[in-house]
């Protein structure tokens, strides 16, 4: 309930929305039947942007249910998670995130400039040459440590509005910056903790569904998530500024601790160090038991 009050724009916010963002909702509301937008291949509307795949409501519902169930079964399927995110982002949640960007001077600049986050646009050698503890150096050190590339984010396909499609793409490409900001690793335990933080901050349904993957964690990891990382995620996600409005490309030389303070995000306990200490303790006990 607290999350809904913290992040919802409500009916008043929808009433003030510009005409171009309301148009998809008005079109849907005026339809006499939920099935009269079914598109056969010859009658499917033309795409609104490169790569766009127009879907009717029935197709989107099928995509959401199928990708959601399958991604719960196999959380490593990034393609399924991406499809579920897009199928469930409309008609409300992606517009809420778009509104958050339109309400921020920095967010509006991001929407105007539409920067992309790739290994080319960021100039990775430049990031490695930055001073320690800068945002850019923290980000590239995290990429190198986790073996991750910024070029692996799937393109948005199933969101009809072109600007909203970019909002989702921006969120997707900024995900690794959120990892670097919090220090959470890409292991399942770290991903679940970060998704809980993202849900509290963005309200995207996909991030909320991903939190249920905590049920697949080992018992000690589950206890640690419930006792430490879930409270951290809710507290910081709710109080932090909208992270979608960070122009990361302009913050690369900023001290990462200063950026955390500005955003209102505290670093959680170092999960990688905790897991390493646990492994070493298990090896020590195993060695003692074998003596």
Binding positions for Zn(2+) are: 175-176, 179, 191
Contact present, 182 and 268 (Cβ < 8 Å): yes
Residues annotated in a binding site = 175-176, 179, 191
Helix residue spans in 56-187 (DSSP H): 57-73, 78-89, 93-102, 105-113, 119-122, 124-128, 135-146, 162-182
Angle CA 268–101–56, to nearest 5: 105
Helices (H) and strands (E) in the chain, counts: 17, 0
Q: Rounded to whole angstroms, how far apart are CA atoms 279 and 285?
A: 10
Which residues does 38 contact at the CB level (< 8 Å), separation at least 6?
Answer: 56, 58, 59
Sign of the CA dihedral running 85, 81, 191, 176: negative
């Amino acid at each position: 309930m607290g999350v809904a009050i913290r992040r919802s724009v409500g009916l008043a916010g929808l009433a003030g929305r510009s005409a171009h963002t309301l148009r998809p909702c008005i079109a849907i509301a005026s339809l006499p039947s939920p099935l009269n937008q079914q598109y056969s291949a010859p009658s499917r509307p033309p795409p609104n942007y490169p790569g766009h795949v127009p879907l009717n409501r029935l197709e989107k519902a099928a995509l959401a249910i199928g990708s959601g169930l399958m991604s719960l079964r196999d959380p490593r399927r990034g393609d399924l998670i991406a499809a579920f995110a897009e199928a469930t982002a409309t008609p409300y949640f992606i517009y809420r995130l778009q509104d958050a960007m339109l309400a921020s001077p920095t967010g509006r600049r991001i929407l105007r400039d539409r920067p992309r986050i790739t290994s080319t646009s960021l100039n990775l050698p430049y990031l490695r040459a930055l001073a320690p503890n800068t945002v850019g150096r923290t980000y590239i050190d995290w990429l190198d440590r986790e073996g991750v590339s910024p070029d692996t984010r799937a393109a948005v396909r199933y969101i009809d509005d072109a600007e909203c499609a970019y909002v989702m793409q921006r969120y997707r490409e900024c995900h690794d910056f959120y990892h670097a900001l919090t220090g959470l690793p890409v292991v399942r335990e770290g991903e679940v903790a970060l998704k809980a933080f993202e849900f509290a901050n963005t309200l995207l349904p996909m991030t909320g569904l991903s939190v249920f993957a905590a049920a697949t964690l080992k018992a000690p990891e589950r206890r640690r998530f419930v006792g430490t990382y879930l409270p951290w995620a809710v507290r910081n996600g709710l109080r932090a500024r909208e992270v979608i409005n960070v122009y990361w490309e302009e913050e690369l030389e900023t001290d990462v601790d200063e950026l955390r303070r500005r955003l209102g995000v505290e670093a959680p306990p170092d999960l990688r160090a905790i897991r390493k200490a646990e492994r070493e303790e298990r090896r020590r006990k195993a060695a003692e038991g074998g003596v």
